[in-house]
A and B are shown apart, each in its own frame.
Chain A
Amino acid sequence: MGKIIVGLKRVIDYNVRVRVRPDGSGVETDGVKMSINPFDEIALEEALRIKEQGNADEVIVLSIGASESQQQLRTGLAMGADRAILVETSTNLDPLSITKVFQKIITQENPNLVILGKQAIDNDNNQTGQMLAALLEWPQATFASKISFSDGKAQVTREVDTGLETIEVTMPAIITADLRLNEPRYVKLPDIMKAKKKPLEIIAFEEFGITPKNTINILNTEPPEQRQKGIMVDNVTALIEELENKGLV
């Protein structure tokens, strides 16, 4: 029993076609639909299920970012989280600084488990969970597709390149969620109304006394090189002829 902290990041929605700004300064975000990072939604769903199964008694959602992240936290509360914390900052923090904020909150809240998405679909970094485990000197179970508990430990099945690896970690632990861990629930209207009354605490990033460590500068952002559309063939004979011409069969 105990608390679970889940990280929720506000990102450009999964279905939006991302466009790079012509001046190379980043991607277009004006008027673009924003959502909870899909992997974080899976992390939250898992935390809620763990609580529903009686293996936790409180689920806290935490976001670090601009004031607008309150929308995603409210969605998290509507899904079933008990309370929310926003660490507000208008600057784009580096992953290590984000991790240090998590570390401070975790030290205050003393959770038994922290579940994060394995990566955010904006910067595709796939770092925060691993960094957090390092700073806290906790075990990490990344890319989780199944979680169970026995003897006060977590057994986690991980999606790795060679198949499914199962490890056992002591608690407290950091787990990062992969796609097949679960299918997140839909939020119902009454839950949205209820979520408005749940506590959402806002703390200014500056209060943590963390100096951002901007060790990596972004010099430019550009669209990828596009593959050119090739030819269409009418039948298998023509396909094999093309492949033979290229020396591929």
Chain B
Amino acid sequence: MNKILVIAEHNGTDINGSTNKCVTCADNIPESEIDVVVFSQKGAALASQAAKIDGVNKVIIIDSDFNEHNLAAIIAPQIVCVAEDYSHIFGPSTTFGKDLMPRVAALMNTNQISDIMGVMNARSFRRPTYAGNAILTVEVIESEKIIATIRTASFAAAGNDNNADIDNVTLDIQLPDHTKFISLQSGKSDRPDLQTAKKVVSGGRALASEENFKIIYDLADSLGAGAGASRAAVDAGYVPNEMQVGQTGKIIAPDLYIAIGISGAIQHLTGIKDAGTIVAINKDEDAPIFEVADIGLVGDLFKVIPELQAALEK
């Protein structure tokens, strides 16, 4: 029996879809029993949400004022307290999980697998290296706990029709006070979250200004899509960092990805290669993005996008 503990990601109000994806990955492991742990401050509603995730055996909720913000230095030692009975401990390969899981592994004196993209068996997994240019198959030796982050773009989200038991747990543990949350500056947007959106429209450097990005947002809105960007567009200050798609930004797998004015650097392609259909619109017919696009259109985005927008709104 493989006992798997999934660390829930949340924003204090909602469980993040990355948690459902970790559960799917865990479910791919044969003979597994999956528990989810929620670290929260007054998180009863979060625990109820987590208990709905299909495939979950039990939800453990650890409520404490210490857990108001998702600080790795605070959560990691608490995970160690509840880890003993588990063979696998999974967190999402989001900034939350990447910050947290290596700290957990080191506290337990073991190594960690980053970005699991496929399950071979209970101890063997596939993961990308070199910006996705070399895929490793790795195996964790017997006797060692398996601590890993899960590449969320590689797994579908588990459904929400379950009704798992919820266990309230209180830990008697001294937690450090060296780290203090100050603020979170977040671009307010009603658009779908990039990492779970079915459709995503992204813009690149060719948009040439923050103002011009409005045509990307408008197109995204008429498609009900999330809005993303290339690193070049973020570096140029046209859009905030949380919109960056690629190796060091978000790795996404929407059904439809529309890349507008994005040349297609390998680091960007790494972030979208699991997309269902990739559409590329670029005025440079030699842009590398066309090598991976399912549908390509060579043209001036400032002419093509308004035309596309008008046609979609008909």
User: Which residues of B in the span 55-103 have a Cβ within 8 Å of any Cβ on A?
Assistant: 71-73, 76, 94-96, 98-103
Q: How many residues belonging to A are interface residues under a CB distance threshold of 8 Å? A: 82
Give the residue of A17, A128, A180, A219 whose beta carbon is less than 8 angstroms from that of B235: A180
Distance of B198 from chain A, by nearest CB (Å): 9
**B186-211 toward A: CB 8 Å interface, digit per residue (1/0)?**
11000000010001000000000000
CB of B298 closer than 8 Å to a CB of A: yes
Complex CA gap A140/B250 in Å reads 22
Q: Which residues of B contact A139 (CB under 8 A)?
A: 73, 176, 178-179
Contact present for A125 and B114 (CB under 8 Å):
yes
Contact present for A162 and B11 (CB under 8 Å):
yes
User: What is the total of A-B residue contacts with beta carbons within 8 Å?
Assistant: 249
Contact present for B111 and A215 (CB under 8 Å):
yes
Contact present for B106 and A145 (CB under 8 Å):
no
User: Which residues of A in the span 141-195 have a Cβ within 8 Å of any Cβ on B?
Assistant: 141-143, 145, 155, 158-170, 173, 178-180
Q: Which residues of A contact B231 (CB under 8 A)?
A: 179
Complex CA gap A224/B185 in Å reads 36
**B277-314 toward A: CB 8 Å interface, digit per residue (1/0)?**
11100000000001111111111000010011001100
Contact present for A131 and B106 (CB under 8 Å):
yes
CB of A230 closer than 8 Å to a CB of B: yes
Contact present for A164 and B110 (CB under 8 Å):
no
Q: Which residues of A contact B169 (CB under 8 A)?
A: none
Q: Among A59-67, A73-81, A91-99, A196-204, which stretch is in contact with chain B?
A: A91-99
CB of A34 closer than 8 Å to a CB of B: no
Give the residue of A122, A231, A235 whose beta carbon is less than 8 angstroms from that of B129: A122
Give the residue of A121, A222, A227, A234 whose beta carbon is less than 8 angstroms from that of B273: A227
Complex CA gap A138/B73 in Å reads 8
Contact present for A164 and B184 (CB under 8 Å):
yes
Contact present for A20 and B95 (CB under 8 Å):
no
Contact present for A232 and B273 (CB under 8 Å):
no
User: Which residues of B in the span 100-126 have a Cβ within 8 Å of any Cβ on A?
Assistant: 100-107, 109-115, 124
Given A161-B250, A166-B182, A239-B297: A224 and B136 within 8 A (CB)? no
Contact present for A168 and B182 (CB under 8 Å):
yes
Contact present for A240 and B130 (CB under 8 Å):
no
Closest 5 CB pairs of A and B: A230-B294, A163-B186, A131-B106, A130-B102, A134-B106
- What are 24 pairs between A and B in contact, CB < 8 Å? A18-B133, A18-B134, A26-B134, A96-B109, A122-B129, A123-B114, A124-B129, A128-B102, A130-B100, A139-B73, A140-B99, A142-B95, A160-B242, A161-B96, A162-B11, A162-B242, A164-B242, A213-B111, A218-B138, A224-B273, A236-B304, A239-B308, A248-B277, A249-B223
